[in-house]
Amino acid sequence: MSTNIIMHIDVNSAFLSWQATHEKQIGIERDIREVPSVIGGNEKSRHGIVLAKSVPAKKYKIQTGESLFEARQKCPNLLVVPPDYNIYTKASKKLREFLKTFTPDVEPFSIDECFIRFTDMSREKAIKMSHHIRTKIHEMFGYTVNIGISENKLLAKMAGDFEKPNKCHTCFPNEIKDKMWPLPVGDLFMVGRKTNQKLEKIGIHTIGDLANYDYNALSALLKSHGRLIYNYSWGKDNSEFKGEEQIKSVGNSSTLKFDVTDKETAHTILLSLIEVTAWRLREAKAYCTVVSIGIKYSDFSYLSRQRKLSFTTDCTNTIYENICNLFDNIWDGNPIRQLGVGVSDLDFSTSRQISIFEDNETKKNEDLDKTIDKIRYKYGDTSIIRGMFANTDFQPLLGGYPSDEYIGMSSNL
C-alpha cells in the first residue's frame, strides 16, 4: 500500500562532523572525531559550554551543554575546537540542496535536522530509499546521519532518535506499542526535564505509561501541554508539512567577553556583527528595508528598536550607519552584556530601484561588498578584513547561531 512518507534527517554530532570534514577538505591531518574532543566556545569567556562532542569524549561522560571547565575536569587532555558557524550554515544548506535531488519537499527543522516528504510511496520502497540517502550522504559529504521514517513528522522524528549513529529506523503507527511505548517518557518529543519530573511523581515512567494514563486527569494536571504529549504518546500529529519557506529576516547577536561601557567599542562590535548579517543577506539575494538592534544589559534587562528605511539595501556600510544611529539614540550608558542586530522586511526582487536619498558612494560600496564576499568565499572568512580590526583583540566577523534563517527552530513540529 502506498501513502505519504515523511523522513527525518538528523546529522550525527553535526557541529563536530561538519568541522571534521571541513578540516579534512583543507588538508588538516587530524580527525577530531577519533580523539576526545568537543566543539565549544572560549574557555575564558562566557561562551564556554560544550556544543558537540566526539564519541571518544562521550566515554568520559562529557555532556552537551555543560561548561568546558567541567568537561576538562573529566578529561584533562580534551581537545576544544571553537565553533565556526559559517561552515555549519554552508554545510546545512548543501545538505538540503542534496536532499532536493530526491524530492522537492524539504522542510528545515533546525540547522542540523530537516524533514523530507515523498507522496504515494510504499513503506518498503521508503526503507530502501532511506538507506540509499544515508549511504550517499556519507559518500559525498563524509559524515553520517540518522534517518527516521514514518507517516507524520512526530513519528519520523521519534524514529530518527531510536539508536545512533548512522542508522535508519521506522516507526509506523502499527509499530508504536513495540518501539515507542517501552522508552522512558523523557524521550518523548516535548517532554522536558520539568515535565518529566511531574510525570515521574504520578507514576508515569514510560511513554506507554503516559499513553495509558487517564486523559482527563493528565489534562487537569498539565493543561494543554498534557493533552499535547498524551496525543504524541499515541503518535498523533496533525502538523502540516510546510516545506522550505523563504526567510523573513536575518539576525546576529553575541554575548560579549566583557561588559561594554563606551560608544566606540560598541560601534566596533556592531560592525563585526553587521559584517556577518549583511553577508548572509547578500547570500540570500535579498535587500532589507528595516534594520533593528537589541541591547542586553549586565542586569539582564533588554531593549530593542527598529527603523524603517526609505529605500532597500544590502550594503554593509548603510546598515551599519543606521544601526549605529539607532544605538546612539537608545543607549543609556549602562554596561552592555550582549548586542544583537537584525534586518527584515526583505525584498527578493532581481532588480533594485535606486533612491534619491542614496549618495554617490552607495553603488561603490555595494560593488565593494560583493567583491569582498567573493574573496571570503574562496579564501576564507577572514581572508580580508577592515583595517580597524587589524592588530586588535576584536573579531572582524562576530556572530552566533543564525536561528532566524531556519524556519521551525521552535520546539513545535
At 245 the pLDDT is: 75
- pLDDT of 202 strictly over 60: yes
At 357 the pLDDT is: 64
Can you tell me the distance from the alpha carbon of 328 to that of 261, in angstroms, rounded to the nearest whole number? 13
- pLDDT of 289 strictly over 90: yes
Check: CB of residue 220 under 8 Å from CB of residue 198. Answer: no
At 140 the pLDDT is: 95
Strands ordered across the beta sheet of 249-260: 249-260, 336-344, 288-297, 302-313
Check: CB of residue 386 under 8 Å from CB of residue 396. Answer: yes
Helix (H) or strand (E) holding 116: strand 113-122
At 403 the pLDDT is: 40
For residue 344, how many other CB atoms are within 10 A of its CB?
17
- pLDDT of 212 strictly over 50: yes
At 19 the pLDDT is: 93
Average of pLDDT values for 100-108?
95
> Model pTM?
0.74
At 392 the pLDDT is: 81
- Tell me if residue 251 falls in helix, strand or coil: strand
At 255 the pLDDT is: 80
- pLDDT of 353 strictly over 80: no
- Tell me if residue 400 falls in helix, strand or coil: coil
- pLDDT of 47 strictly over 90: no
At 412 the pLDDT is: 54
Give the residue among 211, 262, 14 at the shortest CA–CA distance from 114: 14
Can you tell me the distance from the alpha carbon of 164 to that of 316, in angstroms, rounded to the nearest whole number? 42
Average of pLDDT values for 334-357?
84
For residue 264, indicate whether it is catalytic. Answer: no
- pLDDT of 217 strictly over 50: yes
Average of pLDDT values for 230-248?
89
Can you tell me the distance from the alpha carbon of 115 to that of 242, in angstroms, rounded to the nearest whole number? 10
The contacts of residue 389 (CB under 8 Å, 6+ apart) are: 268, 272, 395, 396
Kindly name the residue from 113, 275, 366, 405 that is annotated as catalytic: 113
> Mean pLDDT over all residues of the chain?
89
At 46 the pLDDT is: 59
Reduced 3-state DSSP string for 209-237: HHHCCCHHHHHHHHHHHHHHHHHHHCCCC
At 401 the pLDDT is: 46
The contacts of residue 409 (CB under 8 Å, 6+ apart) are: 109, 110, 403
Predicted confidence band of residue 335 (pLDDT cuts 50, 70, 90): very high
- pLDDT of 292 strictly over 50: yes
At 411 the pLDDT is: 40
At 33 the pLDDT is: 92
Give the lowest-confidence range in 84-88, 187-191, 327-331.
Answer: 84-88
- pLDDT above 90: percentage of residues in the chain: 62
Can you tell me the distance from the alpha carbon of 318 to that of 352, in angstroms, rounded to the nearest whole number? 15
Predicted confidence band of residue 328 (pLDDT cuts 50, 70, 90): very high
At 399 the pLDDT is: 67
Check: CB of residue 149 under 8 Å from CB of residue 127. Answer: yes
Higher-confidence residue: 374 or 131? 131
The contacts of residue 372 (CB under 8 Å, 6+ apart) are: 384
Q: Please give the distance of CA 264 from its chain centroid, rounded to a whole number.
A: 31
- pLDDT of 45 strictly over 80: no
Average of pLDDT values for 282-292?
91
